[in-house]
Chain A
Amino acid sequence: MSAATPARHGVGDLPLSWVNEEELKRLDDALGGASPRADALKAFSSLPTEANLLFTGYVDLRAADLEGSTLLAPPLAISELPASELPAGAAALISISARGVGIHLGAEARAAGLTVGPLPGGTPLAGAESDRMTALIGACWNSGTEISLLSGSITAPIIIRIESPAQGEALLARIAVKLGENVSATISEEVAGRSADSGSTSGTTARALLATTSEVTLGKGAKLRLASIQELPEDVVYLPVRRHEFGANSELQIAAAQIGARLVRGRIDHQLTGNGSKVRQVEVVFAGADQLHDLTTYSLHAGEKTVGDLLAKGIFAGKARGFVKGVTTIPRSGRGTNSYLGEFGMLLSKTARSVAIPSLWIDQPDCERAAHGSSVGPIDPNQIFYLRARGLTEAEARRTIVMGYLEPVVAALPLEEEADRLREVLAAKLDAAFAAQLAAAATAA
């Protein structure tokens, strides 16, 4: 196959030449973890791309043009970054990229006992046995970082900056976060990168692959605020896997924005096993052009009196497609669960597509609430009329309405500067989408 024309492949295929035993041996020599890697490889080879047949048997990975990509071998040692790189108001900076892992811990982080080190090679990746994408990372991860805060608390955010590799390269980064009993912390994740034309040396047309985990373990009473803004260039394949284990009465607030990348296949698992544990999740997806987002959130309410409040909002312009799925499971042990799953979509073009599959699986009648809601609608013409009557132009009115629709997610970000930046990014993308819409209408006319 010529390098200029990537091969077509099946909807569920991931054409990765480096998922093999030889590469695994190399990774084991460098980072360790032979046995869990071998198990994960077995799972990757045998599992279907979508193991969950509750809703649909296929996942569209046709945009994953990864043939000919190379699995990176980033430096192993964690380097110290200069203090000048630490953003104002942040407690610590952890930078993960093809160049390796660099950190800088501020005074508050050091005083609280925050540690950042390489992830022990033998650490198994939970979920790798049942999910193919998790198995891929479990087998082939080439970067591992462990962040621990076992006592004390940090008020300022810990910034985790993840940079996608260059075109034709693959970075599979595991990030494990442990919070001890009654510890509280805030993490702000910035996922960005360079676009294909800014430094590829590999001579391949394979896309860049960034796969990440966020393996969070919350001790009893621990509280974590986690924000993530993904602004990858629109030619990257991004496979994020998040798994959150909840101790009794622990709490997680997660706000995530997915804006960039060509293809995002994401999975979030909330394992609410601790009694009284809570998760509040708000997620926004804004896709345009040919972007495809396939995102699933699984919530297992295994503990008693657990709370799950999940809200996803999607905006799809151009030819973008969004598959937003959720599975809420309340087993018999989950007495007194309060669970809500909301999936809402807005289509800004006639060629965009929104698929929502909010599923419930309930074995325990003693629930405080077990519900989901979903809606898809256009921008309400009445709202446009109202705003225009108050002097806004059509474009301003539309922008105001869409930004208002997304605001609950944006406002949940822990740092005000980040929220402002996200507003700017969303507004710019929105203007581009409206401009494309006008151009399309003009062409049609």
Chain B
Amino acid sequence: MTVVNPNVRDEREQYAFHDDITYLRETKAGLTEATVREISETKDEPAWMLEYRLRAYKHFEARAMPHWGGDLTKLDFSKIVYYRKPSEREEKSWDDVPDQIKKTFERLGIPEAERKFLAGVGAQYDSEVVYHSVREDLQKLGVVFMGTDQGMKEYPEIFKKYFGTVIPAEDNKFAALNSAVWSGGSFVYVPKGVEVPLPLQAYFRINGQNTGQFERTLIVVDEGASLHYIEGCTAPNWATDSLHVAVVEVIALPGSKVRYTTIQNWSNDVYNLVTKRAHAHAGATVEWIDANTGAQLTMKYPGIYLLGEKAHAEIVSVAVASKGQRQDTGAKAIHLAPNTTSRIVGKSVCKDGGVATYRGTVKVAPGATGVTTSVRCDALILDEGSRSETYPYIDIQEDDTSMSHEATVGRVSDDQIFYLMSRGMTENEATNLIVQGFLEVFTKELPMEYALEFNRLIRLEMEGALG
């Protein structure tokens, strides 16, 4: 019998609604050079950006689909709407956001979160950023947090210096697609020595049917500065495919510290094909804390290029794959400088026929002496019919590297369930608790409010896991 916990029953619907909105502007479904030009023209961009987009479009057209990872054969690029503009401009005051959109984010709890525990908030609705604000005291210190389109116009020197340097347009087919049609995303700049005390948060929402969301995030954290950036994402369940193809570039300059946390909860019709990469310069620390619970297919491997001596990389990647889902996730640590260190922890849970894949790379290039790196990936399979795959790629080209890698795949043991049930839990509650414990390596890295939200998401995913 399926056990439903009354405390969590209604929460799934919290994200599943959609709004009937009239867009101010939208491109026709399908992608041509004209679409790319139209997006650039709508945004009134500089010529170099149009050129960049067109170059990327050509590469996207020429590049074959990846032959590995999930099934992309049903992804029909001609049915996707590549640009949908919901409001006239990006607002700095919550009151000025159009009512319909405001209601959406209010239902998702964004303004409340901003007041309580965030240093700044950004909200993107389909293709455009509708709201961005950053606390006044941080603004005075020079912290920039705005939509990427706006960042390109207001901070052209920083923007042009770093845009596309971490993930070139030709990096992969989906990075090329994003580079051709990107819209929205966050632009963050933290000046030298400034420590942002509370997280900045961006919230991404796909509302329209067959919509592609192609946000582009560029984060530059200057020398000795620190930042924690959190992103969340949802979409209503339309039963037709939506596409989320983001590119996130992080530049951690010498001695800085950046933590980038993602809680991905797309609806189960979204293809989530994201390229995330950071450059960690000397003495910098970059942390990707990444959780994937939604989407029909996620292909995402946050990477860190350790470019400067004593840079440190930390990647915690967790995934829960349920019915009809494939979470093809992992991590990359590329050591290009001496005495750099990295730690990767991958955890995945699969159930109801879901497929969870860990695909990771650790590379130590010639010249990167004294590297220490460790990888640990564990998987839980909750039932027959679900699948766990692990593909680590470890390439060491320096003789004094210290690398360790461990992986295990297992199930929830009957003994653990029996122990918890003998203390009054139902089987579902017991499994839920064990899964939460298994994923604690991720949860403990989150601010408390997010940890609670994540645990709720896990409970939702686990509903009906046993029946």
* B390 close to A (CB within 8 Å): yes
A373 touches B389 (CB 8 A): no
* A360 close to B (CB within 8 Å): yes
Interface-side segment among A17-25, A182-190, A258-266, A348-356: A348-356
List chain B residues, Cβ under 8 A from A345.
396
* A55 close to B (CB within 8 Å): yes
A332 touches B384 (CB 8 A): yes
Q: Is the interface of A mostly helix, strand, loop or mixed?
A: strand
* A375 close to B (CB within 8 Å): yes
Return the contact of B408 from the options A349, A370, A374, A378 (Cβ within 8 A).
Answer: A370
A378-407 contact mask (Cβ, 8 Å, vs B): 1 or 0? 100000000000000000000000000000
List chain A residues, Cβ under 8 A from B385.
332, 363
Chain B residue total in the interface (Cβ 8 A)? 35
Residue of B nearest to A375 (CB): B404
* B403 close to A (CB within 8 Å): yes
Q: Which residues in window 276-295 of B have CB below 8 A to A?
A: none
A375 touches B411 (CB 8 A): no
- A231: min CB distance to chain B, Å: 25
* A365 close to B (CB within 8 Å): yes
Return the contact of A371 from the options B394, B402, B408 (Cβ within 8 A).
Answer: B408
Residue of B nearest to A374 (CB): B405
* A81 close to B (CB within 8 Å): no
Return the contact of B403 from the options A349, A352, A377 (Cβ within 8 A).
Answer: A377
Residue of A nearest to B402 (CB): A377
List chain B residues, Cβ under 8 A from A374.
392, 394, 403-406
* B68 close to A (CB within 8 Å): yes
B396 touches A354 (CB 8 A): yes
* Cα of A363 to Cα of B394 in the assembled complex, Å: 24
* B172 close to A (CB within 8 Å): no
A355 touches B395 (CB 8 A): yes
B408 touches A353 (CB 8 A): no
B408 touches A362 (CB 8 A): no
List chain A residues, Cβ under 8 A from B399.
347-350, 352, 378
* B398 close to A (CB within 8 Å): yes
* B382 close to A (CB within 8 Å): yes
* Cα of A440 to Cα of B366 in the assembled complex, Å: 16
A55 touches B391 (CB 8 A): yes
B381 touches A365 (CB 8 A): yes
* Cα of A365 to Cα of B381 in the assembled complex, Å: 5
* B383 close to A (CB within 8 Å): yes
B411 touches A360 (CB 8 A): no
List chain B residues, Cβ under 8 A from A365.
381-384, 386, 410-411
- A86: min CB distance to chain B, Å: 44
List chain A residues, Cβ under 8 A from B398.
347, 350
* B257 close to A (CB within 8 Å): no
List chain B residues, Cβ under 8 A from A107.
none
A370 touches B410 (CB 8 A): yes
* Cα of A302 to Cα of B312 in the assembled complex, Å: 42
Question: Between A and B, how many residue pairs show CB distances below 8 Å?
Answer: 120
B389 touches A53 (CB 8 A): no
- B173: min CB distance to chain A, Å: 15
* B393 close to A (CB within 8 Å): yes
Which of A56, A350, A369 has the largest count of B CB atoms less than 10 A from its CB? A350
Residue of A nearest to B358 (CB): A360
Chain A residue total in the interface (Cβ 8 A)? 37
B46-71 contact mask (Cβ, 8 Å, vs A): 1 or 0? 00000000000000000000011000
* A157 close to B (CB within 8 Å): no
Whether A378 contacts B402 in the complex (CB less than 8 A), given A54-B68, A355-B393, A362-B381, comes out as yes
* B32 close to A (CB within 8 Å): no
List chain A residues, Cβ under 8 A from B67.
53
* Cα of A377 to Cα of B67 in the assembled complex, Å: 33
List chain A residues, Cβ under 8 A from B366.
350-351
Q: Which residues in window 327-353 of A have CB below 8 A to B?
A: 332, 345, 347-353
* B3 close to A (CB within 8 Å): no
* Cα of A354 to Cα of B67 in the assembled complex, Å: 25
B407 touches A355 (CB 8 A): no
* Cα of A96 to Cα of B379 in the assembled complex, Å: 46
- B65: min CB distance to chain A, Å: 13
A363 touches B387 (CB 8 A): yes
Residue of A nearest to B364 (CB): A376
* Cα of A378 to Cα of B402 in the assembled complex, Å: 7
List chain A residues, Cβ under 8 A from B391.
54-55, 357, 359
* Cα of A378 to Cα of B372 in the assembled complex, Å: 11
* B41 close to A (CB within 8 Å): no
* A204 close to B (CB within 8 Å): no
List chain A residues, Cβ under 8 A from B383.
365
A357 touches B384 (CB 8 A): no
* A58 close to B (CB within 8 Å): no
- B160: min CB distance to chain A, Å: 35
* Cα of A373 to Cα of B67 in the assembled complex, Å: 27
* A367 close to B (CB within 8 Å): yes
Residue of B nearest to A330 (CB): B409
* B150 close to A (CB within 8 Å): no
List chain A residues, Cβ under 8 A from B406.
371-374
List chain B residues, Cβ under 8 A from A373.
404-407
* Cα of A359 to Cα of B407 in the assembled complex, Å: 9
- A76: min CB distance to chain B, Å: 44
B409 touches A347 (CB 8 A): no
B410 touches A359 (CB 8 A): no
- B37: min CB distance to chain A, Å: 35
* B242 close to A (CB within 8 Å): no
B403 touches A371 (CB 8 A): no
B400 touches A357 (CB 8 A): no
- A58: min CB distance to chain B, Å: 13
* A358 close to B (CB within 8 Å): yes
Whether A356 contacts B405 in the complex (CB less than 8 A), given A54-B68, A347-B399, A365-B384, comes out as yes
A364 touches B384 (CB 8 A): yes
A360 touches B389 (CB 8 A): yes
* B397 close to A (CB within 8 Å): yes
A227-253 contact mask (Cβ, 8 Å, vs B): 1 or 0? 000000000000000000000000000
* A290 close to B (CB within 8 Å): no
Residue of B nearest to A339 (CB): B409
* Cα of A347 to Cα of B397 in the assembled complex, Å: 8
* B401 close to A (CB within 8 Å): yes
List chain B residues, Cβ under 8 A from A362.
379, 381, 387-389, 409
* Cα of A167 to Cα of B195 in the assembled complex, Å: 67
Residue of B nearest to A345 (CB): B396
Return the contact of B409 from the options A360, A375, A376 (Cβ within 8 A).
Answer: A360
A376 touches B394 (CB 8 A): yes
A347 touches B401 (CB 8 A): yes
A361 touches B389 (CB 8 A): yes
Residue of A nearest to B405 (CB): A374
Whether A370 contacts B394 in the complex (CB less than 8 A), given A349-B399, A365-B386, comes out as no
B389 touches A359 (CB 8 A): yes
* Cα of A361 to Cα of B379 in the assembled complex, Å: 11
Name 22 interchain pairs, CB-CB below 8 A, sorted by A: A345-B396, A347-B401, A353-B396, A354-B395, A354-B397, A358-B392, A359-B391, A360-B390, A360-B409, A365-B386, A365-B410, A366-B384, A367-B411, A371-B408, A372-B405, A372-B406, A373-B406, A375-B403, A375-B404, A376-B396, A376-B403, A378-B399
The 8 closest A-B pairs by CB, nearest first: A365-B381, A365-B411, A347-B399, A374-B405, A370-B409, A360-B390, A371-B408, A376-B403
Known A354-B395, A359-B389, A374-B392; further 4 A-B contacts with Cβ < 8 A: A53-B68, A367-B409, A371-B407, A373-B406
Residues of A within 8 A of B (CB): 53-56, 332, 345, 347-367, 369-378
